Amino acid sequence: MFKGFYTATTGMLSQQRKTDMLTNNMANANTPGFKADQASLRAFPEMLLQQQQSSGVPVVERPGWTDKRYIGSLNTGVYIQETTPSFVQGALKDTGRKTDIAIIDNVAPVDDNGNKGTFFFTVRDANNESRYTRNGNFTVDGSGFLTTNEGLYVMDANNEPIQLQGTDFQISPQGLITENGRVVAQLNVAMTVNAGLMMKEGSGLYRTEDDNPLPSALGNPDGSFNLQQGMLERSNVDATQTMTELLSAYRAFEANQKIIQAYDRSMEKAANEIGRLR
């Protein structure tokens, strides 16, 4: 009976974590460039149960042998193996702001195993390390540097911050930044051939598993992209689907909770009634 407690408990924990993930997706439904997380639930390895006992003939110095009787398999519950972001292209929103830039995936890169990649803006965090984002909601700070709303520098093709004279600039589909009739910088766009290996860090930032920088997509024949100035990529969260999955996760959590309550009542009956001395 205790095994039933553990199995139902793992179901509750998995659904609780899935609910947390879906709630975070819903909270970021209007965050530019946000990529919805997806959960992969997996069963713990099954155990094969068998009964084993020693037997022998009823004589002195009897020979003995071992009897084995297979009982069957036992599943020990489920767990969330991993959560991975979905890098499906979000819809584009026209903002009219020149500091807003959207990446459009024309031809996404693909690795040898058929895993699909994507493109990112390259930024520099407070520790001077490269991080990646799909959120092109940029601004120009007091020193003229192109930054994210969190103050992270947006990198050019030489991995240097981009300094401008103001917000009156133009960006070509391939990232050339023109100001006052001359090219002042080349916006760097990085790419990965397997988007599933990117690690979320919060605030719309990603990093690689090994912290090595991603290759530049500029002039790379393995993928094709366009940049659109004055537009933002919306979150790819489907609010209707997410709400449906939230309700399903809640119902599954509630069902496991009722199972535990039933086990608890059975244990109470066994302890207080069946085991009572008359």
- pLDDT, tens digit (0-9, with 9 covering 90-100), for 252-264: 999 988 988 888 8
Q: Which element (helix H / strand E) includes 118?
A: strand 118-124
Residue 1 has pLDDT above 60, yes or no: no
Buried-exposed string 72-88: b where 16+ CB fall within 10 A, e elsewhere: eeeeebbebeeebbebe
pLDDT of 50 = 61
Residues 6+ away with beta carbon under 8 Å from 261: none
pLDDT of 272 = 76
Are the CB atoms for 189 and 227 separated by under 8 Å?
yes
**Residue 249: phi, psi to the nearest 5?**
-65, -40
- Distance CA(46)–CA(21), nearest Å, equals 27
Query: 55-64, 164-173, 186-195, 216-225: which range is least confident on average?
Result: 55-64
pLDDT of 34 = 94
pTM of the model: 0.78
The residues spanned by each domain of the chain are 2-83+244-274, 91-233
Residue 45 has pLDDT above 90, yes or no: no
Query: How does residue 80 score in pLDDT terms, banded at 50, 70 and 90?
Result: confident
Mean pLDDT over residues 169-195, rounded? 93
Query: How does residue 122 score in pLDDT terms, banded at 50, 70 and 90?
Result: very high
- Distance CA(146)–CA(101), nearest Å, equals 12
DSSP string, 52-105: EEEEE-SSTT--EEEEEEEEEEE---EEEEEEEE--PPPPEEE---TTBEEEEE
Are the CB atoms for 169 and 139 separated by under 8 Å?
no
The predicted-structure confidence for 228-237, as pLDDT tens digits, reads as follows 999 999 999 9
Residue 86 has pLDDT above 60, yes or no: yes
What's the alpha-carbon Rg for the chain, to the nearest Å?
28
- Residues 83, 86, 92, 95, Cα dihedral to 10°: 20
